[in-house]
Structure 1
Amino acid sequence: MPDAYLVGAGQSDYGAFPDESYRSLFRTAFEAAAESVPEGFDKDAVDEAFIGTLGVGGRQLGLSGPAVTEHVGLDGVPCTRVENACAASGFAVRQAVQAVKSGMADVVLAGGFEVMSDMSSDATKYWLGVSGETEWERLSGTTFSGVYAQMASAHMDRYGTTGEQLSRVAVKNHANGAKNPHAQLGFECSLDDAQSAPMVADPLNLYHCCPTSDGAACALVVSEAVVDDYTDDPIRVAGVGAGSDNVGLFDRETYTAVPASQRAAERAYEMAGIEPTDLDFAEVHDCFAIAELLAYEDLGFCERGESGSFIESGATELDGELPVNTSGGLKSKGHPIGATGAGQVVEAFKQLSGKAGDRQVDSPHRGLTHNVGGSGGAAIVHVFEKEQEVSAP
């Protein structure tokens, strides 16, 4: 099966932008992705596009993919909207990889967008809630912060995880986000700040929860037949894995793991032929602080129940053995639902290209992105690696 390569990626700023539309945000991301391609990029080369969005607020629910691709001049390019809640554009990237590896396309655009800041808090909660189990969770009043609070409480009860360990996720990710010019909450916070914030859903406080965001992100995936036209320093999509599970948390066998993430990671590692210890950095889905700790365990970064001590060890710091969420993660960078997965790929591209600025990891060779839909109804994992240079004999 032919290889697929990531040759460009870009995003808009994440935040609240009353003067922007979903189309203008997408244009910013698309142009940034095109400009990031080392040897230049002609949009006329795009064979297909996959666009992730939940459609928050009800704007352009139908044909929202073509609505943004035609706006950037991809007239006539086949476009498919992908919806998998917060994992929408992560799965859009997977669709792009599949299109290239199948031989049906040589150049594919994968991206996503969302506008979330122009509604009341009640309306925002409604649109976030549609990705939960609608009969027994959402309509009974359960919010996503409430669902993840149940997961956090269960993990604390079973493994002794502490509120301070949850807060360390926020401190680390804000420190990284402060170095990211695209971050919505691009400021540092102290451990005291993160521990003393107002409670949202016990045991999760405000600093344990990501913001709602406007934003867009794009990635350009090409086949091995044309990759040399775009770069002489290729980044290969080494592994892809996806998983699904019951949408409702109450329907699952465990509250202290996300089985869809485990399945996705196992498949991605198998395809890439690697172990978690072979990674140099990772972008994981930290919609809530407990989600990042669960990801450490689900992705095999540490043993089950040891994520609290793992973050305390400093292993996931920018200068640690496995930096996690160098972008600032959802917590600091932001979480425009449909753009989040593609936005993680943007960070992977920057790190592997050596263009991550003050948050650059030292000489990375391989990185992972992990994107979750809802509270774990869907998950997608990608492994990206720089092609090894072959030394002259």
Structure 2
Amino acid sequence: MQDVVVLGVGQSEFGKFPERGIAELGGAAARTAIADAGIDPGDLQAAFSSRVYEAMITSQTILKDLGVTGIEMVNVENACAGGSTAVRSLYKDIAAGYVDVGIAIGVESMTTSPVAGKLIPPDKDDLDGQMGLSMPVLFALQAKRLMETHGAKEEDFAQVSVKAHEFGALNPKAQYRKRFTVEEVLGSRMVADPITLLQCCPNTDGAAAVVLASADFARKYTEKPVRITGSSLISGDYDFKRADLTTMPLGVKAATSAYEQAGIGPEDVDVVELHDAFATEELVHYEDLGLCPRGESVGLLRSGATSLGGRVPVNPSGGLLSLGHPLAASGVRIICELTDQLRGRAGDRQVPGAKVGLAQMLGGAATGLDAGAASVHILTV
């Protein structure tokens, strides 16, 4: 196994850009990542790209305009975890020695997708979805359980959104750079009790890209490499095995695997980027990632530990709630954010002295499964 390094990162602006196609959005991110890596586009030996909607030859569509052709290109889909899946797929090829350098891209144009301006509809064979178990409802049920078992209050869920928008106001790439109060969040339109509109991530267009390389290849381009020391991707198990709504077992398994690979524990993590499509779920991920003991996620939030200046800031990018959620792009974007944090170039949202970052992404739902996929990557300097 070769050590794998994040050599370059790039991200487009996130927002609503119906006039910008996949090639333009993805190309902007890929060009930035390649320039950041300091390599020539012709050096790339492999590409993995992810897109949920209209997912056809995504890598080829984007990279042909950069002069990159004639190499292995693979296109993947794994719901919101698709970008993370692209990163892990490239990571494995480099770690195994098949290639020395490649690019992973995540891209989505939600404003031109079949679900533009709508809830994502369930598949015809998704019985739970057809009966009304949409994503907002799923996380609303989880929130209700947290209120019963953890003493969570509606104000706590609103505070997650307030925190995300505080961070997002510091991120020039964020779709929404506006701060909100707890009262404003709670006063926004009810979506699925107790989840209000400002506790839901917006539909967004955008792309992100990372150039990964073997440590030997990267040595020619950087003296301070950011290494991927843990990488996991776990599919969901049967839902009937799940005994507790306040945990997502596949998330626990993904985190445990990544920690074991990296040889660290959650107490060593300095900064986290995680899936917060709905504010309520952030509390669940705190515990599943081991950032606090079981039952103490509400206390962790209230203590300020996950805010900027806290013990382990969570989603300093602004998260999906503020930055926006172009589905397949988010799993790549969180790697970009952590790389900037570990390189000390995150600007006003910089976590001082960050040495270890954790990126987590969750994705998908299907009748009978607790979720579709969960991925965790651990980055270190």
Q: TM-score, normalised by structure 2?
A: 0.94
- Stretches of structure 2 lacking an aligned partner (at least 5 in a row): 366-370
**Aligned residue among 373, 376, 385 for 2:380:** 385
| Separation (CA, whole Å) in 2 of partners of 1:360 and 1:119 | 34
Tell me the amino acid that sits aligned with residue 82 of structure 2. A
> Which structure 2 residues correspond to residues 216-295 of structure 1 after superposition, within 5 A?
216-246=207-237, 252-295=242-285
Question: Are 2:12 and 1:12 equivalent residues in the alignment?
Answer: yes
| Separation (CA, whole Å) in 2 of partners of 1:150 and 1:239 | 32
> Which structure 2 residues correspond to residues 99-138 of structure 1 after superposition, within 5 A?
99-118=93-112, 124-126=118-120, 129-130=122-123, 134-138=125-129
Instruction: Tell me the equivalent position of 1:389.
Output: none
CA shift, 1:374, in A, is 2.3
| Separation (CA, whole Å) in 2 of partners of 1:176 and 1:355 | 15
Question: In the alignment, is the contact (CA less than 8 A) between 1:197 and 1:205 conserved in 2?
Answer: yes
Q: TM-score, normalised by structure 1?
A: 0.92
CA shift, 1:121, in A, is 6.2
Q: Secondary structure at the match of 1:81?
A: strand
Question: Are 2:333 and 1:343 equivalent residues in the alignment?
Answer: yes
Instruction: Tell me the equivalent position of 1:167.
Output: 158
Deviations 1:290-318 (A, max 9, x none): 22111100000011221111111000011
CA shift, 1:250, in A, is 6.8
Tell me the amino acid that sits aligned with residue 45 of structure 2. D
Instruction: Tell me the equivalent position of 1:141.
Output: 132
| Separation (CA, whole Å) in 2 of partners of 1:293 and 1:333 | 19
CA shift, 1:71, in A, is 3.2
| Separation (CA, whole Å) in 2 of partners of 1:214 and 1:378 | 22
Question: Are 2:287 and 1:297 equivalent residues in the alignment?
Answer: yes
Q: Secondary structure at the match of 2:93?
A: helix
| Separation (CA, whole Å) in 1 of partners of 2:42 and 2:101 | 10
Q: Secondary structure at the match of 1:240?
A: strand
Question: In the alignment, is the contact (CA less than 8 A) between 2:207 and 2:329 conserved in 1?
Answer: yes
Aligned length: 376
**Aligned residue among 45, 51, 60 for 1:53:** 51
**Aligned residue among 344, 354, 358 for 1:354:** 344
Question: In the alignment, is the contact (CA less than 8 A) between 2:79 and 2:364 conserved in 1?
Answer: yes
Tell me the amino acid that sits aligned with residue 163 of structure 2. K
Structure 1 residues 81 and 252 mapped into 2: Cα distance closer, same or farther (>3 Å)? farther
Question: In the alignment, is the contact (CA less than 8 A) between 1:54 and 1:338 conserved in 2?
Answer: yes
CA shift, 1:135, in A, is 2.4
Question: Are 2:306 and 1:316 equivalent residues in the alignment?
Answer: yes
**Aligned residue among 185, 188, 193 for 2:179:** 188
Instruction: Tell me the equivalent position of 2:40.
Output: 42
CA RMSD between the two structures: 1.7
CA shift, 1:185, in A, is 1.1
Question: In the alignment, is the contact (CA less than 8 A) between 1:166 and 1:308 conserved in 2?
Answer: no
Tell me the amino acid that sits aligned with residue 83 of structure 2. S
| Separation (CA, whole Å) in 1 of partners of 2:56 and 2:265 | 41
Question: In the alignment, is the contact (CA less than 8 A) between 1:242 and 1:265 conserved in 2?
Answer: no
Instruction: Tell me the equivalent position of 1:391.
Output: none
- Stretches of structure 1 lacking an aligned partner (at least 5 in a row): 387-393
Question: Are 2:95 and 1:97 equivalent residues in the alignment?
Answer: no
Deviations 1:358-389 (A, max 9, x none): 10110211111001112532100000001xxx
Q: Secondary structure at the match of 2:70?
A: coil
Instruction: Tell me the equivalent position of 1:68.
Output: 62
Tell me the amino acid that sits aligned with residue 230 of structure 2. G
Tell me the amino acid that sits aligned with residue 96 of structure 1. L
